[in-house]
Amino acid sequence: MTSSLGWRLALGLLGGVLVPLGFAPFDWWPLGVLGVALHYLSLVGSRPREAGWLGLVFGLGLFGVGVSWIYVSIHDYGAAPPPLAALITFGFVLLLASYQALQCYLWRRWCADRLPALTFAASWLLVESWRGWFLTGFPWLYLGYAHVSSPLSGLAPLVGVQGLGLLVALLAVVPVQALLDWRTGARRRALAALAPLLTLLLVTVALHGTAWTRPAARPPLRVALVQGNIPQELKFDPAAIQAGLDRYAALTEPLWPLDLVVWSETAIPLVYQNEPALLQSLDERAAKSGTALVTGVFFRSDQGLHNSVVALGSGRGVWHKQRLVPFGEYVPLREFVSDLLALFDLPLSSLAPGSDPQQPLQVQGIGVAPFICYEVVYPEFVRSHAAGAGLLLTVSNDTWFGDSIGPHQHLQIAAMRARELGRSMLRATNNGITAVIDPLGRRRAELPQFEAAVLEAEVQVYEGLTPFARWGEQPLWWLSLGVVGLLALRQHRDRTAIAP
């Protein structure tokens, strides 16, 4: 096997390009595993600085393909000219790729001498966690998401998407390392690594259909999700707002006898306090038929203007979005970048985040945990706000993604939240993909994109908690940190002991 840096870079780039093919809409999850394996193979025998470059190239392939929908949002709907949209997209991809570069450099520098496959997988988890937190985080394309429907998904209710991602990383790199050890004569070490991995895989597959929660002792809810399919260029146009509201009203008219009707994020693109007649009429109409109507609307409070959902009729409660989209709903470091964005004539947003904690909505006597668009991608955030709820709900406006892979990835992420927490998930969007997801993360029904339509279903309410719902991700973080830290310390001591 040649050890030229050029060959390694090509192998790492190929691995990065393959990994996104494991996610929706492709769902070729074995290719994702193969991509990580090729990436690990490219790192074997590299020096720390080389490993950093290899990680960067891998990240450019991973995120260059995986978040290509960023360009669509910025250019098609953010009105940025193509060169600027391409520059911003590349800068974002480069930032994300730098996390992989950091992981590979530090792993090669501090951990790769002892149990390299284990420390590689553990450091991968830690860097994914850091990426999901730092500067509000971008917890997208976690390895585990590709396996919400694979035979490995049974691990998700125990350790969440990141624990599942840890298993995927081990599945990719342990056989590679075992093969290398076997070729160098360390056959006992190779078998010692493969045996526990095989055992873990067998346990995981056996848990695939295990239900950790149970149906509540009440009839299923009769629900309807309304997909208005309002074009983005018309959604906030004052001259077209009434037509959009009329479409939602017409689609909803046959649904009033149902238990719950859900409109999408900002389905009412107006401020709640400015439209008392409209909201009162909807409240009265829903109450008359015993229906709970949940809709997206802007809401003004002492903290500012919020992106919110409200429950009307037989429902009660308000939820203000807490995890805002950087540059889409607020501008980080506004005092430093607002002049630059104004120079390029890019829109500036100034929504306020909701306070924490907030209570679930109440719908027909049931706690419903609502999450607006981007909020659903944060595993710990969803877990912490869903403990007292019997049903999960997310509303979104994925029109910003256009006809790209973004909405499919977003739906896959929502399905993982259902799988982790053992709850049904309702997903209502403006133009797709609207879906009903069961507690095993399976899509029971969905609407096609880019159509105005209604999705009706009977949805069971669940009770009880999965192990992940009880404990979250933190035990796995500390375990991974302990493994990496301990082996890094031992490697440092070994090198110090043999130094002249």
| C-alpha dist (Å) from residue 400 to 143, 242, 296, 431 | 24, 21, 16, 10
The catalytic residue positions are 265, 321, 373
Q: What's the rounded Cα separation, in Å, for the pair 249 and 245?
A: 6
SS3 content of the chain, % helix, strand, coil (to 5): 55, 15, 30
The 8-class DSSP code of residue 324 comes to P
Q: What's the rounded Cα separation, in Å, for the pair 239 and 176?
A: 61
Which residues are within 8 A (CB) of 71 and not within 5 positions of it... i.e. 6 or more apart? 85, 86, 89
Q: What's the rounded Cα separation, in Å, for the pair 110 and 119?
A: 10
Q: Which of 375, 356, 354 lies closest to 303 in space, CA to CA? A: 354
The 8-class DSSP code of residue 330 comes to B
- For strands 260-262 and 292-301, give the pairing: parallel
Q: Which of 97, 146, 106 lies closest to 126 in space, CA to CA? A: 106
Q: Is 207 exposed, middle or buried (0-12, 13-18, 19+ CB in 10 A)?
A: middle
3-state SS of 15-52 is HHHHHHHHCCCCCCHHHHHHHHHHHHHHHCCCCHHHHH
Q: Which of 259, 284, 226 lies closest to 363 in space, CA to CA? A: 259
- Report the half-sphere exposure of 150 (CA within 13 A, side-chain side): 27
Handedness of CA 493, 40, 179, 485 (dihedral sign): positive
